[in-house]
Amino acid sequence: MNTLFIAGHAKLPAGMAAKSIYETLTITCEIDRKYGVIVEATCTLATEHGRDFIAHLLKGYSLMDGIEAPLQELKKSYFGKAYNALASALKDLHKQYKLLLDKK
């Protein structure tokens, strides 16, 4: 298989619909091994529309280029209560990716 599966986690803020289902927000990504490109992504937002939006937003970014570009896209495009949790989960996902590269 030429892809990796990596997850990033963050605490959800109070008052979120997803908080009644999950304690944390998780972003999972399938990532191309060679180029670090996000092939597929999903998250534990409560609505399908929200999950689809985040998947579309992240798809195509290379984690080899760092995390700033997807974070900037998130900042200018997502205005829900979960923004901070999504940004934190994305940073955690990138951290997990870098740790995986360091093990090779």
CATH number of the domain residue 39 falls in:
3.90.1010.10
- The count of structural domains within the chain is 1
Residue range of the domain that includes 36: 3-103
Judged by DSSP in three states, 42 sits in strand
Rounded CA separation 32/63 (Å): 10
How far apart, in Å, are the Cα atoms of 49 and each of 24, 42, 52?
A: 19, 11, 5
User: Would you say 15 and 95 are in contact if contact means Cβ atoms under 8 Å apart?
Assistant: no
Q: pTM of the entire structure?
A: 0.89
The pLDDT of residue 1: 81
| Residue reference for tokens 């995390």 | 67
For residue 89 the two structure tokens come to 């989960």
- How many C-beta atoms lie closer than 10 Å to residue 62's C-beta? 14
List CB contacts of 99: < 8 A, sequence separation 6 or more.
none
Low-confidence ranges of the chain (pLDDT < 70): 15-22, 104
The tens digit of pLDDT for each residue in 22-38 reads 678 999 999 999 999 99
Rounded CA separation 94/8 (Å): 8
Rounded CA separation 58/37 (Å): 9
